[in-house]
């Protein structure tokens, strides 16, 4: 149903809603709250708790006043049967007219005890900048209940958006708002709902927006409190199940569709000339995976394969071998990496191997000069570039390939499913290879890589020594300096990781929300080391050692230059943020120092540590942290005990407090509207079971149609995949 049918939604608001993907009343109701604020405990003035947020119902005693100081202060006095209270707002002069003397309102805001209260009267209380709403005329949405908090579209306040949802809920299911396009339409068949104890969609949608407050008819019998947990949980469970169910159905359908799709036949599968040009003999695992790739690309169907292999297991060589076969068969190969630094490094590696073989790779990143970019694009389009290495630049509009036969994404966990698909869409059913070092449990793998076949490189090159790992606190910093001196004197190189760029800035590329999360969850209060100050201090402490820094806010050319100097050995110690986390390869680096180790999750620590130990040399990792809480200690211990990425990933998952494992940054998980894999693992398993056993539910044709339609919708919305041909 069209959104403009709602009162208060004109052309402008409809546009703002559309920009947030809300075109219909059903879309609006599928925009779930991101959080809730329990304001169901309404107090009297006498009961108010100072220095806390309180909800209060009261009558405005006098006409409010505006006072103009440096800002305009609106004051209102509110009374109830227990007393009076002063309320203030800043720079909202229109409120003076909004509140009517004698009118009853509900307020929620912080109550402060003002120090200059009369000596005998105790401290005078004042409520500051409260949220407000007329009371006593039926519906209260912002107080006296559990209040939903949304991420409202631009131009909407919480309050207007909340009111709009409320209006839509009242209309939904009635008159023109019912039927198939209603938000209440049921696309989970009753058989599945029964089996997994899922409530109906109408109850779910109503209760997810206004838990426990949507009227008696939807309240389960025997429940009393407005914060009706059971009903809210049932609503949430149903919607989470639904989201995960359709997500997986979409991925499964994509896989079936791809498997049935004819692929380019790469008949020439002789990779010996390539292997002979490598400076090492491939491991058994590399050869096995290469065999799986060969079977795919010469079998007539499109390859869609994930290569999972721990850091340093030699995934690049396998990617090169596949590229070799693509170009040998006359097709182009494109490989996408998540950072400039990594793309440059891959490019250099490919050039070394492929130039002598007669194939000249090109590099495409966002930081090329206009002329180089133009030339490169021409070569890509006219086919003179057989091998293309780059960043996200590879999937931008305006990049047209001549005959793309193979797409590779490196460090797939740093990309979304969509970005991977975007690269594939640049060709005509090209073969696809994605690589990741992040081992993930099977259940999650189905969500991330449900449409892919999986190969595992479960063996490191033979000459590798275990990285010795130590966990210390800052009392050992002197000794760490000594260690740095010793390694550099022996001609080795050192990485130092700090979580922030400067005292004021964390590294937007890699810290951001995820670290905030880790930070609060570990309750750490330790000062954050930052790259700029650290470099200065270390240079002072270790004169004569060549130290430089690197972070995500530097210009790509600068980064490249620094990485180049580090690779050549000119720089001995590199102080960096986690920009060097993925893929970076400098064999001569043998010591990794991680400052504020408490701020990183296990998977990330493992990635960081993987920057050393990339040759036959003994390497070391020193993690510094002054945080002694249990979780941090457990992480440190795990890191010291094992270098097995799979084990660490499992531990990471067990330590559910970390919040890191499911950071979408680390894994490229699709953005869910309500599901939270960290919390909803059990529901995920049930949804998986439902998808796998769908045929056992003997669906009617209406039920299958509904599922099919919804799956098409999900795949169009989330993956921009149309007509994937959902097979049930």
Pick from 155, 86, 167, 154: nearest CA to 123: 86
Piece of the chain touching ligand ADP by CB under 6 A; list 312-320, 400-408, 572-580, 690-698: 312-320
Whole-angstrom CA distances from 420 to 310, 433, 586, 616, 671 are 20, 9, 27, 34, 15
* Count of residues touching ligand ADP (by CB under 6 A): 18
Binding-site string for ligand ADP from residue 614 to residue 653, where x marks contact by CB under 6 A and - marks none? x---------------------------------------
Site for ligand ADP in 274-303 (CB under 6 A): 280, 282-283, 286
Rg (C-alpha) for the chain, rounded Å, is: 30
Question: Which partner, Mg ion, ligand ADP, none, binds residue 313 by CB below 5 to 8 Å per kind?
Answer: ligand ADP
Piece of the chain touching ligand ADP by CB under 6 A; list 88-96, 191-199, 581-589, 689-697: 581-589
Determine which residue in the list 237, 567, 585, 710 makes contact with ligand ADP, applying CB under 6 A: 585
**Residues 37, 39, 41, 46, CA torsion sign:** positive
Question: Which partner, ligand ADP, Mg ion, none, binds residue 461 by CB below 5 to 8 Å per kind?
Answer: ligand ADP
Q: Which is nearer to ligand ADP, 165 or 317 (CB)?
A: 317
By Cβ distance, which residue is nearest to ligand ADP?
314
Return d(Cα 236, Cα 207) in angstroms, integer.
8
> In this structure, how many other beta carbons lie within 10 angstroms of the beta carbon of residue 115?
7
DSSP state of 576: E
Return d(Cα 15, Cα 28) in angstroms, integer.
13
Return d(Cα 511, Cα 555) in angstroms, integer.
18
Residue 82 in 3-state DSSP?
Answer: coil
Site for Mg ion in 559-588 (CB under 5 A): 583
Tell me if 569 sits within 8 A of 615, measured CB to CB: no
Q: Which is nearer to Mg ion, 376 or 409 (CB)?
A: 409
313 binds ligand ADP (CB under 6 A): yes
Q: Which residues contact residue 369 at a Cβ distance below 8 angstroms, ignoring those fewer than 6 apart?
A: none
> Which helix or strand (DSSP H or E) is residue 390 part of?
strand 387-390
461 binds ligand ADP (CB under 6 A): yes
Determine which residue in the list 203, 264, 433, 437 makes contact with ligand ADP, applying CB under 6 A: 437
Determine which residue in the list 316, 493, 530, 604 makes contact with ligand ADP, applying CB under 6 A: 316
317 binds ligand ADP (CB under 6 A): yes
Determine which residue in the list 152, 314, 552, 645 makes contact with ligand ADP, applying CB under 6 A: 314
- Shortest separation between residue 564's beta carbon and ligand ADP, angstroms: 17
Q: Angle 312-613-593 (CA atoms, 0-180°, nearest 5)? A: 115
Question: Which partner, Mg ion, ligand ADP, none, binds residue 169 by CB below 5 to 8 Å per kind?
Answer: none
Determine which residue in the list 312, 405, 450, 499 makes contact with ligand ADP, applying CB under 6 A: 312
Tell me if 176 sits within 8 A of 3, measured CB to CB: no
655 binds ligand ADP (CB under 6 A): no
309 binds ligand ADP (CB under 6 A): yes
Return d(Cα 333, Cα 401) in angstroms, integer.
10
- Shortest separation between residue 583's beta carbon and Mg ion, angstroms: 4
Tell me if 61 sits within 8 A of 50, measured CB to CB: no
H runs (alpha helix) in 569-644: 602-609, 630-641
Tell me if 262 sits within 8 A of 302, measured CB to CB: yes
What does the block give as tokens for 577? 């943020």
Residue 408 in 3-state DSSP?
Answer: strand
- Shortest separation between residue 451's beta carbon and ligand ADP, angstroms: 22
Return d(Cα 595, Cα 611) in angstroms, integer.
15
- Shortest separation between residue 285's beta carbon and ligand ADP, angstroms: 9
* Count of residues touching Mg ion (by CB under 5 A): 1
Determine which residue in the list 26, 125, 203, 311 makes contact with ligand ADP, applying CB under 6 A: 311
Q: Which is nearer to ligand ADP, 286 or 344 (CB)?
A: 286
Question: What residues line the site for ligand ADP (CB under 6 A)?
Answer: 280, 282-283, 286, 309, 311-317, 437, 461, 583, 585, 587, 614
Question: What residues line the site for Mg ion (CB under 5 A)?
Answer: 583
């Amino acid at each position: 149903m069209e959104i403009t049918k709602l009162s208060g939604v004109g052309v402008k608001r409809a546009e703002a809603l559309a920009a947030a993907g809300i075109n219909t009343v059903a879309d609006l109701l599928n925009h779930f709250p991101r959080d809730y604020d329990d304001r169901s405990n309404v107090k009297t003035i006498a009961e108010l708790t100072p220095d806390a947020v309180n909800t209060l119902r009261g009558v405005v005693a006098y006409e409010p006043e505006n006072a103009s100081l440096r800002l305009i202060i609106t004051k209102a006095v509110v009374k109830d049967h227990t007393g009076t209270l002063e309320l203030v707002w800043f720079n909202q002069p229109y409120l003076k007219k909004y509140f009517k003397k004698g009118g009853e309102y509900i307020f929620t805001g912080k109550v402060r005890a003002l120090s200059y209260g009369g000596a005998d009267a105790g401290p005078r209380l004042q409520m500051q900048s409260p949220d407000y709403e007329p009371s006593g005329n039926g519906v209260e949405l912002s107080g006296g209940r559990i209040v939903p908090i949304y991420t409202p579209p631009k131009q909407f306040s919480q309050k207007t958006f909340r009111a709009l949802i409320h209006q839509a809920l009242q209309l939904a299911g009635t008159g023109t708002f019912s039927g198939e396009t209603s938000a209440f339409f049921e696309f989970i068949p009753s058989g599945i709902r029964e089996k997994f104890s899922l409530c109906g969609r109408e109850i779910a949608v109503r209760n997810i927006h206004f838990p426990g407050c949507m009227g008696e008819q939807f309240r389960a019998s025997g429940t009393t409190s407005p914060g009706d947990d059971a009903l809210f949980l049932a609503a949430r469970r149903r919607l989470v199940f639904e989201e995960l169910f359709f997500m997986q159905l979409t991925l499964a359908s994509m896989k079936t569709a791809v498997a049935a799709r004819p692929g380019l036949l790469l008949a020439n599968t002789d990779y010996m000339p390539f292997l002979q040009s490598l400076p090492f003999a491939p491991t058994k695992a590399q050869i096995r995976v290469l065999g799986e790739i060969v079977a795919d690309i010469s079998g007539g169907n499109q390859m869609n394969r994930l290569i999972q292999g721990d850091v340093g297991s030699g995934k690049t060589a396998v990617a090169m071998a596949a590229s070799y076969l693509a170009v040998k068969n006359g097709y182009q190969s494109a490989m996408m990496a998540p950072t400039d630094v990594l793309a440059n490094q891959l490019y250099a590696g490919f050039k070394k191997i492929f130039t002598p073989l007669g194939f000249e790779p090109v590099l495409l990143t966002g930081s090329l000069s206009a002329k180089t970019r133009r030339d490169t694009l021409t070569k890509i389009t006219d086919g003179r570039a057989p091998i293309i290495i780059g960043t996200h630049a590879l999937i931008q509009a305006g990049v047209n390939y001549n005959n793309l036969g193979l797409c590779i994404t490196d460090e797939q966990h740093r990309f979304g499913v969509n970005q991977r698909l975007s690269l594939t869409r640049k060709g005509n059913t090209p073969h696809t290879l994605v690589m990741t070092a992040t081992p993930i449990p099977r259940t999650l793998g189905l969500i991330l890589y449900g449409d892919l076949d999986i190969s595992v490189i479960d063996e490191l090159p033979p000459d590798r020594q275990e990285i010795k790992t130590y966990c210390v606190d800052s009392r050992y910093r002197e000794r760490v300096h000594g260690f740095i001196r010793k390694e550099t004197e022996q001609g080795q190189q050192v990485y130092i990781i700090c979580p922030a760029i400067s005292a004021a800035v964390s590294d937007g590329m890699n810290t951001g929300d995820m670290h905030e999360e880790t930070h609060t969850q570990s309750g750490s209060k330790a000062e954050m080391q930052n790259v700029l100050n650290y470099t200065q201090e270390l240079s002072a402490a270790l004169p004569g050692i060549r130290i430089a820094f690197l972070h995500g806010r530097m210009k790509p050319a600068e980064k490249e230059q620094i990485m180049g100097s580090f690779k050549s050995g000119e720089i001995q110690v590199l102080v960096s943020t986690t920009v060097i986390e993925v893929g970076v390869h400098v064999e001569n680096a043998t010591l990794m120092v991680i400052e504020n180790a408490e701020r990183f999750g296990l998977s990330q620590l493992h990635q960081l540590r993987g920057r050393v130990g990339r040759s036959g040399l003994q390497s070391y990792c020193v993690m510094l942290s002054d945080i002694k809480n249990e979780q941090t200690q457990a992480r440190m211990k795990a890191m010291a005990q094992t270098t097995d990425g799979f084990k660490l990933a499992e531990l990471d998952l067990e330590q559910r407090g970390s919040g890191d494992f499911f950071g979408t940054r680390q894994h490229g998980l699709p953005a869910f509207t309500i599901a939270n894999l960290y919390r909803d693992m059990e529901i995920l398993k049930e949804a998986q079971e439902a998808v796998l056993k769908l045929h056992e539910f003997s669906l009617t044709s209406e039920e299958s149609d509904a599922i099919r339609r919804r799956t098409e919708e999900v795949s169009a919305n989330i993956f921009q995949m149309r007509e994937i041909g959902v097979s049930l």
